[in-house]
A and B are shown apart, each in its own frame.
Chain A
């Protein structure tokens, strides 16, 4: 089931005018910000389909930037986000893409600073709900239906077991899990959807495991 709670239907509380093009866009931007971990110096937004055609009128542009600034869908600063970001020294660019994607509301976000670059593809599926379908070239199926933990790690034996042991210790149940890697022995990604909310001390514990590069969480 794509939609899990009644508040996916009655909600979110948001700045108008469009749940898919404004609230959903803000949420995709915010996931990108969460995964990036800090405010980027540059943010590029590649827009596809209905996003590309109608982004200005729907405030998709300000919403995406608001998300990257870590604003929620009901933050009154949302309409002014681009001005705020630029005043803050963040470079923002929108690229209108003509390619046809599988989902009509698709955006590819690239965030950069001096240390790192991150690329994420998100889709807005309606009513403010989103899915992340690609992260740094890894295909993934992050529904956003459950709290999720993302673990970037080195592809070594025992890493997955060590991570799941810590979750077991904290009595956290894994509902869905996928592991993907680009090359054997190289960087790999674990996406773990859990039934319980994820406390920051659990993330810290995971982060201290050997061969783990980066741990982050996404709320329901």
Chain B
């Protein structure tokens, strides 16, 4: 089993395989299941992701608290007008990341990647890129296996829990995973995947987990949006040949240590950061008054 990114890339290079293939083969070894079973299970995940994206960009989804919903539709309408400043692909990915998290906040069905609070980034980037890159279903599944491979390293060497390591561990990890996976989808090398992850994750370091009223809504939905855009830009930078001065594994280690020293108020307790702002507290009071807590 690969323990870190360096081993993962080395294995891919030595055996002349893609990262996705290394991940699938390891999965077959660890679970003693056939390739078909494993690929089919991933296909079920892909279908759930697609359904959540579709629901979020077409329906006017609203969360129980009323704090989130409807922003994915706003972005889709904005793209159609054609007056955007960045790019249609970038905004499409952003809107699909938002869509997923709006469905999640509404207690809809999603696929955690790596967590529910960060479930928008990986599918957002994939479905945002679908028109441009025209991937086959197999390539889309491979994208998820690459994302899984990098997430696997983060989860085992650092954390993917906001309560343990802050939002950098959730949306941060998801952003790194999506960046690495997009590089392979676009035809980049395993090493470029690793560079993209490092570049993306470095820019998420220190991100705190400070949800208003303790709900996975504010600021989680918009952090997924920015995670998706960060992932795409990081992938482009890596494909351009830019490398990270700090190796990916050391970036992951830095993330872990930052998480350990982060105050508890900023680790999913709803007690610090945006949750503790005047408006955050007001929203919290309104929601709990309604719930009768």
Contacts and interface: CB of A to CB of B under 8 A. Distances in A.
B226 interface: no
Given A9-B114, A50-B269, A20 B162 contact: yes
Interface residues of B, number: 66
A188 B104 CA distance: 42
A2 B155 contact: yes
A165 interface: no
A17 B214 contact: no
B231 to A, nearest CB: 15
A8 B164 CA distance: 17
A17 B116 contact: yes
A5 interface: yes
A188 to B, nearest CB: 31
B116 A57 contact: no
Interface residues of A, number: 45
Interface string A98-141: 00000111000000000000000000011110000000000000
Contacts of B149: 6
A127 B215 contact: no
Nearest to A73: B112
B269 A126 contact: no
Contacts of A16: 103-110, 116, 119, 216
Interface string B114-129: 1111010010000000
Contacts, number: 175
Nearest to B113: A10
| Residue among B108, B145, B163 facing the most chain A CB atoms (10 A cut-off) | B163
A205 interface: no
A208 interface: no
B271 A53 contact: yes
B65 interface: yes
Given A23-B112, A54-B269, A10 B216 contact: no
Interface string A73-101: 01010110000000000000000000000
A107 to B, nearest CB: 13
Interface in A1-27: 1-23
A101 B169 CA distance: 21
Interface string B66-105: 0000000000000000000000000000000000000111
Interface in B131-176: 144-145, 147-149, 151-152, 155-156, 159-164, 169
A18 to B, nearest CB: 5
Interface in B19-77: 23, 26-27, 30-32, 38, 41-42, 44-45, 48, 63, 65
Q: Which 9 A-B pairs have the closest CB atoms?
A: A126-B161, A54-B214, A16-B104, A9-B151, A6-B148, A57-B215, A17-B216, A19-B115, A19-B116
23 contacts: A6-B145, A9-B152, A9-B177, A10-B111, A10-B144, A10-B147, A10-B148, A13-B48, A15-B109, A18-B115, A18-B117, A19-B112, A19-B115, A21-B216, A23-B112, A50-B163, A50-B267, A104-B267, A126-B155, A126-B163, A127-B155, A127-B160, A220-B31
Interface of A: 1-23, 49-50, 53-54, 56-59, 74, 76, 78-79, 103-105, 125-128, 195-196, 220
